Each structure stands twice: as structure tokens, then as C-alpha cells.
Chains A and B, each alone.
Chain A
Amino acid sequence: MDKVYIISVFAENKPGRLERITKVLAEANINILAFSITSTNGFGVIKFMVNKCQEAYKLLKEKGFTVSLNEAIGIEMKDQPGGLYEVVKILSSKGINIESASVYVAETRKKAYLIVEVEDTTKAMESLKEENLKFLKPEEIL
């Protein structure tokens, strides 16, 4: 079982912020595979899963963004009704609370992954080991 990584960027709620971040990634030829935005009154956190996460993290940091690299778990879902339900049912039965989530649809809808950040990644993965789940491997992130 492998961990995957999510890049989180702090952003004020102002026009042009997402544009500035994605421009950096585009110019470095980094592919965004999944992303989510959480925002509250005045500011937010933008999360990306990308194909070259260490490189993207370094690059954004150099460019002056407030960025962190967070561990996450990628769990394969069936791309059909009930696919998400099956996965989150298992997570909740193990008492794993999802702190943030996004979806990665791979190979043009052949596979989909639920990407979740949880409080303790290692512990969560340990408790999911026996379950009949397929996890996303870093080398599958292209």
C-alpha cells in the first residue's frame, strides 16, 4: 500500500489566484489529475494532485506561494452507481474521518479514485489493509 501526495496552496479569495497557481504548473508541464477548493470567509485552500508532486511543490514554494505537501490515500472506486458509497462505508466503519477529498478519474473513465486526506494516514492505511480495496499507487499517477 502506498501513500500518494496532495499539494495544498493557501489563497485569498480574490480573482486571479487560481490562475496564477495553474499558470506555474502549466508552464512546468505538470499535469493536474484532481483538484478541489475549500473556501471560507475571505480565504481558502486549493488542493491538487499532480503527476510530479515533489517538483510542483518545490516550484510553487520557490515562486513564493504558501504551500504544503500532504499525505493522502487513493482508493479505487467502481465507476457506477454506489461506487463512492461502497468506499466511504468502509472508511466510516473503521472510524476514519475524511478531512478533504477529491476524485481522480483515470484512463478516461475506466477507473476512478477517491483521494482522501485523513488525520493519520499511516494508521488509516493499516486499518484498511484487510479490506477488499484497491489503492492508487504513485507510479500510476501520470
Chain B
Amino acid sequence: MSFWNKEIETLERKKLRELQFERLKKTLKRVYQNVPHYKAKFNQAKIKPSDIKNLEDIYKLPFTTKEDLYVDYPFGLLTVSIDKLIRLHTSSGTTGKPKAIFFSKRDINNSAELIARCLVMTGAKRGEILQNSMTYGLFTGAFVMHYGAEKVGILVIPAGPGNTERQINLMKDFGTNMLHITPSYALYLASVIYDKGFDPKRDFKLKRAYIGAEPYSEETRIKIENMLGIDIYNCYGLTEMNGPGVGFECPYKSGLHIWEDNFLMEIINPETGEPVPEGEIGELVLTTLNREAMPLIRYRTRDLTRVIPEPCSCGRTHRRITRILGRSDDMFIVKGVNIFPQQIEQILMGIKGVAQNYQIVLESYDEMTIKVEIDRELFDGKIERLIKLKEEIIDKIRSATMVKPKVELLEPGTLPVSEGKAKRVIDNRTI
């Protein structure tokens, strides 16, 4: 197991928490002194940085939401003057203005430092070649990875996305060992490689790919891994928190390590804002602990995940989260229970005989109907098998959500085809 910064990556939990608290205190003090918007929010909540006596006290602080990023836009949340800034990245807002995130020199260096940890964690090293097929531009993805890889001493090919023929030529001519790429483009690239008659294992020197920026399933990961004969590592990040490198998989590929010396993570119930019991699904909330220009306090990512509390076999003490399960806005309530479509999806995808497509239909507040397409390939003509399948779906969903669903088995192709953001929940309820 290789480490970029073994001391910090394997720091004893107690010491790690002490470091977190020390950095939290400094951060709170800085935003309270320098950011009028934070000061006003803290005052409104009748709280001062000095009231935070330990990490658990973080629950007393108000959340920061994406709406806060538009208050005093665009420079309003800075703790440094503009002459300390060296980079702007934006994240496309779904409506109107983009979210603007500024980096100081120290922040750029630090984001590269975190990527260096991630890359070395997966076995990458000096002398290897990374083809960076993410978009270079306002989006953080490509740049942050680029700087991090350079820090390790990796040769970076700044390919950017698209022009698949050229991508393949670069991979072949220079012996690319690693790709940084979106899942959809990786799938496409792999299929073109096959169409052109290449054998990835024979014709390329590819070892790994870092995949993120779009949701994708475990099945897709395995598919790309098998097609290209490589290891694929999930990465998690958001522009508001540097971009990629917030969470990254180690060689055990069972959850993404969050760099807890840099980010304080909480998992909350998106409805109530209260913390959920450790290990339960909720919304990820992050506080930057090591950011200079634009610290964010209790930032609501809207991403759903859960903490994996068990220590990881890789030796890192920084806790893991599961891959992002969806958006907290997707939550719905049946029989008073909060349910996420992603919970249902995870269960369905783990059941043999079920196809990819499903829909949750809500007609009343105490019943949910789950429509599931059966897997054409696994149909064996036996009705008993289908009855068992239906019972298995009902049982597994009931034990995970405490709500017994109605299940309808459908012929494949009956439900609308999912193209990325498929409409999974049909809510026909009226209040």
C-alpha cells in the first residue's frame, strides 16, 4: 500500500479529530471576522465562534446552502482580498448564475495535495502517464486533477474530452497508463476501441481510470473495467469543495475515503436538518477545514450517501462514504417514513431477475407501488419463479424502509426509457 502523506492519512482518529477541531475553530474565527454574510447568519442564530467547544457543537451552526453563494455575489464569501486570488472556477447552476468559487495560491496547492494522496493511494507513481480527458475550463475537474498529477511527478496529457480517434492515438503512441474521464465517455471510448479492432490489453498500457462527474452504477464500472481490462476508481467532489479529490476510492474499492483533515463531514436528515445515526443514509454536509480564500461552513451538498464507520483494510483512518446514492431533493414520504428512490434502486439492482428500469408510483400517503421490469434473459417460463421474485422484492424493500410496497412486475420495455435523469417517482398525490 503506497501513501503520499502517510502520517496524515493514517493519523490516529483521536488526533485526527483534534486536528479537525483546531482547524474548525480557526476557520470559524476567520469567516466571522471577514465575511459579513457569515457574521450576520451566526448572529441571527445567536452563536459566536467561541461557543463551539467541540466538534459536536457544529450542529449549533447554521447551514450554508447554494442560495448563500448568491448573496453578495460574486465576491461576498471571501476571507481574503481579491489580490490573493489566483483562480476562479464555476459550477453550472441549474437556474441563472453559476456558483463562483475562488482559489488562493495556497488553495490551489492544497487541492493538488489532496489529489496527490488520491492518485498515490490507487498505486499511481512518478514515471506513469495520465491522459486527462475531462473538460479544461470553468469546470474544476480537469485542472485540479492536472495539478495533483503533476505534483506526484506523473506525465499529464491534457487531452480534454472528445475527438475519440485522437484519444486512442494518444493512448497508443505515448502509452497512457491512466485516464481521468466521465463514465459515459469511458463507455463510448471503450466501444470505439473495440470497433477499431484493438485489444486493449495487448495494444495499450492502460492500468487505471478515475471516473466521476456523472452518476453511474456499479454495473457500469464493472463493464468498463472488463472491456478495458483495468481498475476503475470512483471519485467524488464538487466545485464548492475544490472539485475532485474530496472523496476517493482506495484499492479495496469499497467506499470513498473523505479527507477528513480537510473536510468535516456530517450526514443529516434533509427534512429536519438533524444528524442521522451513523451508517444511515442522509445528505452529506461538508465544512472546509483547510481552505483559505473561500471557506464554507456546513455546506449542504444535496448529495445522498452514508458513512461506512468500519475501519478500512488499507490502513487509512479517514472514514469512507458509499458512492453518491442520489440527490436529497428526490426524497419522498410514505406512512411517515422518509424514503429515497436510490434506496429502492439499490435493493432492486441487487435482486436477480430484475431489469434496470423501475418506477415508484405514489397514489396515497400510506402506500407506494413499485413497478419493475423483469429481466428478459432470466425469464425461464416458470410462474412460481416470478411469484418468488415478487415476494423477494416486497420483503427486501419492507425490511429496508419499514414500508411494505405493492409490486407490479412488468414486461421489459414497458416503462419510459431512462436517459440519465429518468423520472423514477410519479407522485400523483394531492394534499
Contact = CB atoms under 8 A, between A and B. Distances in A.
Interface in B404-419: 408-414
Contacts of B414: 12
A42 interface: yes
A47 B383 CA distance: 11
Interface in A30-49: 38-40, 42-45, 47
Overall SS of chain A's interface: strand
B379 A66 contact: yes
Given A10-B374, A10-B386, A43-B386, A64 B412 contact: yes
17 contacts: A8-B379, A8-B380, A38-B383, A40-B386, A43-B409, A47-B381, A66-B376, A66-B379, A66-B411, A66-B412, A67-B379, A68-B379, A68-B381, A69-B381, A70-B380, A99-B384, A117-B381
B313 to A, nearest CB: 42
Interface of A: 6, 8, 10-12, 38-40, 42-45, 47, 64-70, 99-100, 117
Given A66-B374, A66-B376, A12 B411 contact: yes
Nearest to A47: B381
8 closest residue pairs by CB, A with B: A8-B381, A68-B381, A70-B381, A45-B383, A38-B383, A66-B379, A66-B376, A43-B409
A45 B409 CA distance: 12
A45 B381 CA distance: 7
Contacts of A67: 379
A101 B376 CA distance: 23
Interface of B: 374, 376, 379-384, 386-387, 408-414
Contact of B380 (A39, A42, A68): A68
Contacts of B374: 10, 66
Chain A CB within 10 Å — which of B376, B381, B383, B413 has the most? B381
A12 to B, nearest CB: 6
A113 B386 CA distance: 28
B102 to A, nearest CB: 53
A100 B414 CA distance: 27
